[in-house]
Chains A and B, each alone.
Chain A
């Protein structure tokens, strides 16, 4: 026998068979509490502030005033909308990293309608034209990589990612075209006529955005879970071989699903311009196209759970902004705190799915 002597590792990991729901939620709550404790230590060490005050400021960032509450809901709606858009694609195992670009071209199409049509049309017709253009733009932007994937099996991850940069350049080009001064900044479009602006309802300018996204959420939930097309998406995503075996036209499903994904992105672009900013910049999507990927995965592609996951992200973002201004902190400190909390929330899923066992020492 060779000389080396090996000993067994002290712990080993086994997969859980399935945890009762309250236990898994207990793990998640404990994770958040631990994150808050760790954050407190860091707050005291770095800034000397009272952590409880910092946390309460964080909560006030989302719930402090009714204005803040509505802004939070608006941010939540936008992030959720884009997350819903990428979900069918991800469920199909089509890595759509291009939501950012698909939202941007939707926004650009909306802004173009507002810019060129001005107040020449009645408001309902105007809005309808803008909406259709935005959806069409999003569909085209998503359809191109889908077509290449279906036809020549190109890598959709790279393709959709590159399409983002094309979209950004397109926006830059049109802003340069539309703004003669060369400042590169597009002002608010139709400031006076408010043509193409979504109206305020009950005195809330974001009301329509939020209602539209609520409807999209319910529709997406039902589409994925109960429709024949949703079922086909699941089958293609889980096993293309099985899909072929039962006669699903895989190429058709890829094209159709990406068209839906792009359309919802286009809708988000429309809401961002017509209902929120009334202008377009290269930063209109603001990275939400990427954050949406995380929201969708964390929500396990379930539209209902994604409401919660997008809320967590938005709540942390708003809270970080609030404490940065309130305590006059460097934005990086706020980002460190949100990073820690997110790390714990995501990391605890390991303990929900796996169990760590101690190896019992045999008695000597």
Chain B
């Protein structure tokens, strides 16, 4: 029998006391697509980083075409014709596609754009890419950038391709295109590993699927012989209900009314263009859109972190009956108006929390100003920290552990816990389950549902359309900084939202 393109035998990798990969064995043949399936933190990326030379395994062996190899650097991996396409692109923004493709190649002679372009065109034609080699990276869409990354490794002659969560940033239509390309590469004899945790993609694309769970190898199945339920069971270890509970909104009232909101950047480019919507109490409003369609700017404008060029943000205080325009108020001014606005930002450790501070000091971020004294009061934050650790079952050595040392899910629990502890009336959460495993994700969904039941107006920015459709009451779709549609999540179809996401400008009625 012909030997596998790449085979791993008994690979183990530890980080300190944490075992990221324990005794993992798997292989990929030429002309085959293998899905590597597992929840976040199951060790998929660590395993692939060992193949691409970023880490070195503590134990175990890697075989390429049947002979054992040691891969100590990305350069070694390149010599073995292994190419990895990372989740976060590693491209130079001000360079053209062609320049990025040959970057670091060390070819003899002058950089010849025509020669490179013709080879790029050749590769593109072969596998069905569409790319302009002379286009600069910063002018490209996410999908184009990914294409450049893939051509980059093909240009280097890679026979083994590893793609880390390639569809995370793509629209459904772009995903279909990518899959077509990957199938053509498979038919051309390449060995392809795709890291994912989206089951329908596994089933649609791969020949075989290997499952990891918490660093352990669970098993490998032929895709044709399996189904979503079986794979989910393998992945999470037991049956999980795929249903997110959704209660009917209780007495929804207009809490936050956004009218014709515009935000421009320093160059005068409109990041948000004429955005109008209403967030109601007791309701979860989902916001869908391709990454960078204005979600971040919208939330930051509401939170008083981004200056608004025109439009208004009206907050209705049900108790007093007053309406306040929050436009261009600072976070402190908003709080002083009695608006209890909580915000779980996308960048948890870079904005919502301070990574090097412990849980107690992070609790203080919102409350340290309390009291007239010169000194901070740590007793209440300590109690709050203990309460959150207990109620949300945060896994941490103690409340004095720096939050940077916690896993992604626990970091998020700390952040969400703090934000809902102030009994908000409006709760905004940007990608609150990104990078979280299924159990942590459900904890977050439950917390959001609890807030909804308490009459909070919840705004949930998400990327997984299935989750948005199951969790939210209404979904607002952003495309290129404009509202391209607001749909009822109970009746909307996924394809419908996918289409709205790719629309720029024209408004769907």
Name A's B-contacting residues (CB within 8 A). Answer: 1-2, 4-9, 12, 14-17, 226-229, 231, 234-235, 238-239, 241-242, 244-247
Name B's A-contacting residues (CB within 8 A). Answer: 15-17, 56, 64-65, 67, 69-72, 76, 79-81, 303-305, 330-332, 335, 343, 345, 347, 349-357, 361, 364-366, 368-369, 373-376
Q: List 21 A-B contacts (CB under 8 A).
A: A1-B65, A1-B67, A9-B72, A15-B16, A227-B375, A228-B368, A228-B369, A234-B354, A235-B357, A235-B365, A238-B354, A238-B357, A239-B349, A239-B354, A241-B351, A244-B305, A245-B305, A245-B351, A247-B331, A247-B332, A247-B335
Q: Are B351 and A247 in contact (CB under 8 A)?
A: no
- Min Cβ gap B71→A in Å is 7
- Complex: chain A residue closest to B159, CB-CB: A1
Q: Are A227 and B332 in contact (CB under 8 A)?
A: no
| Assembled-state Cα–Cα distance A234/B356 (Å) | 10
Q: Are A231 and B350 in contact (CB under 8 A)?
A: no
User: Quick one: given A6-B70, A231-B364, A245-B343, are A238 and B355 in contact (CB under 8 Å)?
Assistant: yes
Q: In the complex, which residues of chain A have a beta carbon less than 8 angstroms from the beta carbon of B364?
A: 231
- Complex: chain A residue closest to B353, CB-CB: A242
Q: Are B356 and A14 in contact (CB under 8 A)?
A: no
Q: Are A242 and B76 in contact (CB under 8 A)?
A: no
User: Quick one: given A6-B70, A8-B56, A239-B351, are A246 and B80 in contact (CB under 8 Å)?
Assistant: no
Q: Which of A8, A231, A242 contacts B376 (CB 8 A)?
A: A231
Q: Are A17 and B374 in contact (CB under 8 A)?
A: no
- Identify which of A4, A228, A247 gathers the most chain B CB atoms within 10 Å of its CB: A247
- Min Cβ gap A190→B in Å is 38
Q: Which of A7, A12, A227 contacts B70 (CB 8 A)?
A: A7
- Min Cβ gap B219→A in Å is 27
Q: In the complex, which residues of chain B have a beta carbon less than 8 angstroms from the beta carbon of A228?
A: 368-369, 373-376
- Identify which of B305, B347, B374 gathers the most chain A CB atoms within 10 Å of its CB: B374
| Assembled-state Cα–Cα distance A241/B343 (Å) | 13
Q: In the complex, which residues of chain B have a beta carbon less than 8 angstroms from the beta carbon of A226?
A: 375-376
Q: Which of A5, A231, A244 contacts B368 (CB 8 A)?
A: A231
- Min Cβ gap B105→A in Å is 15
- Min Cβ gap A100→B in Å is 29
- Min Cβ gap B211→A in Å is 28
| Assembled-state Cα–Cα distance A15/B331 (Å) | 39
- Min Cβ gap B382→A in Å is 14
| Assembled-state Cα–Cα distance A330/B67 (Å) | 62
Q: In the complex, which residues of chain A have a beta carbon less than 8 angstroms from the beta carbon of B343?
A: 245
Q: Which of B81, B349, B376 contacts A227 (CB 8 A)?
A: B376
- Complex: chain A residue closest to B304, CB-CB: A247
Q: Are B350 and A2 in contact (CB under 8 A)?
A: no
Q: Are B354 and A17 in contact (CB under 8 A)?
A: no
Q: In the complex, which residues of chain B have a beta carbon less than 8 angstroms from the beta carbon of A235?
A: 354, 357, 365
Q: Are B350 and A242 in contact (CB under 8 A)?
A: yes
Closest 4 A/B residue pairs (Cβ):
A247-B331, A247-B332, A8-B70, A241-B351
- Identify which of B17, B345, B351, B361 gathers the most chain A CB atoms within 10 Å of its CB: B351
| Assembled-state Cα–Cα distance A227/B375 (Å) | 4
| Assembled-state Cα–Cα distance A6/B72 (Å) | 7
- Min Cβ gap A228→B in Å is 5
Q: In the complex, which residues of chain B have a beta carbon less than 8 angstroms from the beta carbon of A246?
A: 331, 365-366
| Assembled-state Cα–Cα distance A4/B345 (Å) | 48
- Min Cβ gap A124→B in Å is 28
- Min Cβ gap B9→A in Å is 12
Q: Are B354 and A2 in contact (CB under 8 A)?
A: no
| Assembled-state Cα–Cα distance A14/B18 (Å) | 12
A16-B16, A226-B375 are known contacts; what are 19 more A-B pairs with Cβ within 8 Å?
A1-B64, A1-B81, A6-B69, A6-B72, A6-B76, A8-B56, A9-B56, A14-B15, A14-B16, A227-B375, A228-B369, A228-B374, A231-B364, A238-B354, A238-B355, A239-B349, A242-B353, A245-B331, A247-B335
